[in-house]
């Protein structure tokens, strides 16, 4: 009997040892084995090998530190730009500095003209104008008004919108001098009259368009002290079409989650370029877009149908990767548009005008949706002047404007997560991009308030039309 018991326990222990060895084998060769998943994408069937090795937290932390270093350097350059903006051939700096107010004293800003033919902020409170749900202005001593009768003399700053001022001249007058002396949009006609009214008053010309300004406006330049514009040598330029806010509080688990989301987008998003476009007037960007579609999938939504001048057989022969969805209703800021932005890896962020610093919502919107934007004009430096990370977008300039080299690179990205990841890892630094007017407008008005509180130099413009038209090729 004792022998049988010993024999039983011996067999039982042997089974346990065998089970332990089998479990060890599974752990070693089962879990570490790469799981292969096949995803049938619309353009090609690509097999991705998925494992969790890309979630190395030490590597992720190193990436974040490197990105932060680039952002800090970029911000320093912006601060240097702001400091040197007064040193321009288009501006005159006076020896007498501005008399800044005490922190408990208010600055009043008067909206003197309409903005695109309607009052801009007249119905809003100062709290709404200078602050948003995502950002509180560091200065709280600025107020805003549209009451010209009451505040023309006492206001600290007057805002004039260039398009509204110029439109009146173009529509009603043939002679600039006649318009200038008759118009009510410019309250004082000489610098002397303006100084007599209020020697500390700042006149600001607001212009966010890249169209040429009539050179006749050079003759009234001295009336204007500052500009509000997309141009980085304007006194207020940050946030013209978008801006970033840093991700101040981020944990290791957040970093891992972000990278998992990037990997999920790499697997699921379509290997094609999305383009929402309604304006076909820019021949350069249309030509380059068509050339891209010779080698790589380009899907177009909007009123600009690049296929309309070709027969179906010509499209297949010349531009085999072009698809135009002009009949599909996908309006701006619609659920349809959002769905498209979240379905593609790339976005064609081609500006219709080649003006230095003219970087509009096209790139900001695609960055916001974690796409890789592809830029044509202006140059790469214009984008980086707004602290857009150098590795967050692709510029044709990177390939000497060789479209075939660009599309070869896109194909490489599609096959290699590490390449794709390099363009998206900036999301560790930034919470998100902001390109909605409810966010950009308070951001800009806060910059104006900050300028009134801190900027001591007293300046005026010498050739304000030339300033806006400078480095604008079309």
Same domain for 250 and 235?
Answer: no
343 and 452: one domain? no
Q: Report the SS3 class of residue 39.
A: strand
Q: Is 377 in the same domain as 406?
A: yes
Pair 348, 322: CB distance under 8 Å: no
In angstroms, the Cα distances linking 202 to 86, 87, 274, 396, 468 are 15, 18, 44, 41, 19
On whether the CB atoms of residues 299 and 273 are closer than 8 A, the answer is yes
Is 3 contained in some domain? no
3-class DSSP assignment, residue 150: helix
- 236 and 254 in a single domain? The answer is no
Say whether both 365 and 451 belong to one domain.
no
Note whether 204 and 327 are same-domain residues: no
Q: Specify if 25 maps to a domain.
A: no
Residue 379 lies in a domain: yes
Are residue 220 and residue 328 in the same domain, yes or no?
A: no
pLDDT tens string for the chain (474 positions)? 454 544 555 555 555 555 555 555 444 444 343 333 333 333 333 333 334 555 555 555 555 556 555 656 655 655 555 555 555 789 999 999 999 999 899 999 999 999 999 999 999 999 999 999 989 999 999 999 999 999 999 999 999 999 999 999 999 999 999 999 999 999 999 999 999 999 999 999 999 999 889 999 999 999 999 999 999 999 999 889 998 887 777 777 888 888 889 999 999 999 999 999 988 888 889 999 999 999 999 999 998 888 888 888 999 999 999 999 977 788 888 999 999 999 999 999 999 888 889 999 999 999 999 999 999 999 998 898 888 888 899 999 999 999 999 999 999 999 999 999 999 988 777 757 888 889 999 999 999 999 999 999 999 999 999 999 988 875
The count of domains in the chain is 2
Can you give the pLDDT at residue 8?
52
Is 220 in the same domain as 252? no
- Do the domain assignments include residue 31? no
Contact assessment for residue 70 and residue 63, using Cβ atoms and an 8 Å cutoff = no
pLDDT for 74 equals 59
pTM of structure: 0.80
Residue by residue, DSSP assigns 50-90 as: E-GGGG-HHHHHHHHHHHHHHHHHHHHHHHHHHHHTT-STT
pLDDT attached to residue 434: 84
Q: Is residue 18 part of a domain?
A: no
Residues 132, 210, single domain; the answer is yes
Instruction: Examine residue 32 and state whether it is found in any structural domain, yes or no.
Output: no
For residues 387 and 405, membership in a common domain is answered with yes
The reported pLDDT for the residue numbered 269 is 97
User: Which alpha helices (H) appear in 85-201, and where do they start and end?
Assistant: 126-130, 148-151, 162-172, 176-182, 191-197
Domain boundaries, position 183:
86-241+438-469
Q: Which helix (H) or strand (E) holds 5?
A: helix 2-29
Nearest Cα to Cα of residue 226 among 131, 153, 160, 139: 160
Helix/strand/coil for 395:
strand
Same-domain status, 299 and 216: no
Are residues 225 and 204 in contact, defined by beta-carbon separation less than 8 angstroms? yes
């Amino acid at each position: 009997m004792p022998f049988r018991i010993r024999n039983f326990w011996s067999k039982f222990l042997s089974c346990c040892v065998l089970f332990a060895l089998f479990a060890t084998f599974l752990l070693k060769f089962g879990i570490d084995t790469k799981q292969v998943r096949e995803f049938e994408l619309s353009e090609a069937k690509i097999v991705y090998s998925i494992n969790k090795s890309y979630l190395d937290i030490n590597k992720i932390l190193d990436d974040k530190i490197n990105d932060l270093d680039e952002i800090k350097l970029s911000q320093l350059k912006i601060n240097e730009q702001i400091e040197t903006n007064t040193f321009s051939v288009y501006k005159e700096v006076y020896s007498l500095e501005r008399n800044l107010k005490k922190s408990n004293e208010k600055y009043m800003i008067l909206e003197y003209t309409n903005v695109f033919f309607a009052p801009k902020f007249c119905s809003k409170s100062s709290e709404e104008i200078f602050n948003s749900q995502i950002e509180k202005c560091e200065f709280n001593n600025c107020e805003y008004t549209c009451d010209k009768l009451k505040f023309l003399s006492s206001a600290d700053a007057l805002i004039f919108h260039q398009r509204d001022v110029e439109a009146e001249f173009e529509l009603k007058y043939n002679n600039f001098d006649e318009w200038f002396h008759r118009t009510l949009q410019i309250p004082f006609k000489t610098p002397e009259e303006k100084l007599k009214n209020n020697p500390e008053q700042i006149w600001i010309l607001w212009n966010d368009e890249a169209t040429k300004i009539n050179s006749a406006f050079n003759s009234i330049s001295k009336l204007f002290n500052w500009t509000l514009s997309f141009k980085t040598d304007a006194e207020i330029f940050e946030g013209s079409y978008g801006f970033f806010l840093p991700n101040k509080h981020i944990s290791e688990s957040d970093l891992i989650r972000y990278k998992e989301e990037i990997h999920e987008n790499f697997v699921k998003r379509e290997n094609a370029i999305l383009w929402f476009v309604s304006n076909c007037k820019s021949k350069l960007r249309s030509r380059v877009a068509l050339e891209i579609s010779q080698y790589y999938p380009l899907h177009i939504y909007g009123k600009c149908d690049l296929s309309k001048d070709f027969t179906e057989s010509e499209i297949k022969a010349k531009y085999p990767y072009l698809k135009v969805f002009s009949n599909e209703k996908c309006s701006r800021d619609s659920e349809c548009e959002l769905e498209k932005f979240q379905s593609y890896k790339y976005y064609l962020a081609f500006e219709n005008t080649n003006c230095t610093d003219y970087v509009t919502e096209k790139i900001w919107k695609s960055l916001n949706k974690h796409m890789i934007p592809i830029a044509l004009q202006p140059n790469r430096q214009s984008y980086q002047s707004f602290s857009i990370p150098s590795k967050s977008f692709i510029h044709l300039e990177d390939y000497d404007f060789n479209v075939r080299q660009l599309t070869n690179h896109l194909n490489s990205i599609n096959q290699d997560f590490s390449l794709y990841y390099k363009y998206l890892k900036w999301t560790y630094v930034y919470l998100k991009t902001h390109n909605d007017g409810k966010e950009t407008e308070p951001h800009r008005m806060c910059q104006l308030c900050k300028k009134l509180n801190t900027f001591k130099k007293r300046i005026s413009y010498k050739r304000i039309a030339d300033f806006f038209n400078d480095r604008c090729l079309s």
